[in-house]
Amino acid sequence: MLSLVPAVLGVASTAVLALTAVALRALTLRAGLVAAVLGSVIVVIAGFAYLALLVLFVLGSTLATRYRLEEKSRRHVQEGTHGERGVANVVAHIVVPVALALTALSSPSLLRESTRELLYASALAFGASDTFASEFGVLAGRARSILGGRPVVPGTNGGVSGIGELFALIGAAVTAGAAVGLFALFGAVPAAPIGFALVVTLAGFLSCQVDSVLGQTLENSGHLSKHSTNLLGMLSSVAIAAAIVAAFGGSV
């Protein structure tokens, strides 16, 4: 947990970043306020590396969302009205990272720091993988159902495409590499950085597929909303990473 002066700087930085996102119409005002509050919790409790990785996720997601936005708008597959994300979207993507950050209050009795870093990065790797797959895949000319393989309109829940899958992998891998670099920069170098990056990439990419399956089944049937599907997808990423860690005896 940060001491007083770094904590104040962290909260101030989080507020400025959130307001900037609102000003750039990446977030609605209410979403920006929620992001500022929850982001402040993350930085004060877990540190600047955690905040920096979250900020990179938001930046990458915004750039992907704005890519060929006019075309997405014409096809009515854009996020929000102008590519902005609302409260539900922010909450769905930040609840799990906040919960993981909060384990720092009881660490190492609840969760070792190295494991927390890996699970946190895996959660955001899902967010990047899912966002990249959606925002680039929706522009693909063709897509197929993840269950059954029948042709579907790009952007359909459960629809996947080659370009979408490629960017899903890229999103997870970039998040993994950024996590290794940021944790090292702030003095928490992963014991096995290559293993760390591989686990995070795999967890992020596989959970994106879980999200697609949930979208085609439970979301299309009305049992889940888009945001609850995202939340479960992120939880699956954490579960996959935790299972890999457990399989290797608690180390990667």
Which residues of 133-237 form beta strands (DSSP E)? Answer: 143-145, 151-152, 159-160
Does 94 reside within a domain? yes
Does 86 reside within a domain? yes
Residue 232 clears pLDDT 80, i.e. is over it: yes
Share of the chain above pLDDT 90, in %: 81
Does 34 reside within a domain? yes
Does 252 reside within a domain? no
pLDDT band for 82, please (50, 70, 90 cuts): confident
Across the range 57-85, mean pLDDT stands at 87
Residue 228: its pLDDT value, please?
97
- Look up residue 38 and give its two tokens: 């929850």
DSSP string, 7-20: HHHHHHHHHHHHHH
Domain count, the chain: 1
Residue 251 clears pLDDT 80, i.e. is over it: no
Nearby residues of 73 by Cβ (< 8 Å), 6 or more positions away: none
Across the range 4-11, mean pLDDT stands at 95
Across the range 156-166, mean pLDDT stands at 95
pLDDT band for 165, please (50, 70, 90 cuts): very high
Domain of 75 in residue numbering reads as 4-247
Does 16 reside within a domain? yes
Does 21 reside within a domain? yes
Angle between the 162-185 and 113-137 helix axes, to the nearest 10 degrees? 150
Across the range 12-37, mean pLDDT stands at 95
pTM: predicted TM-score of the whole model, two decimal places = 0.95
Nearby residues of 148 by Cβ (< 8 Å), 6 or more positions away: none
Residue-wise pLDDT tens digits, 210-219:
999 999 999 9
Residue 76 clears pLDDT 90, i.e. is over it: no
H-run or E-run covering 96: helix 87-102
Residue 111: its pLDDT value, please?
86
Residue 107: its pLDDT value, please?
67
Residue-wise pLDDT tens digits, 105-135:
886 777 889 999 999 999 999 999 999 999 9
CB–CB of 105/45 below 8 Å?
yes
CA distance 245 to 114: 11
Does 67 reside within a domain? yes
Does 17 reside within a domain? yes
Residue 250: its pLDDT value, please?
72
CA atoms within 13 A on the CB side of 227: 13
Q: Angle at the Cα of 49 (from 44 to 50), degrees rounded to 5?
A: 60
CA distance 79 to 226: 12
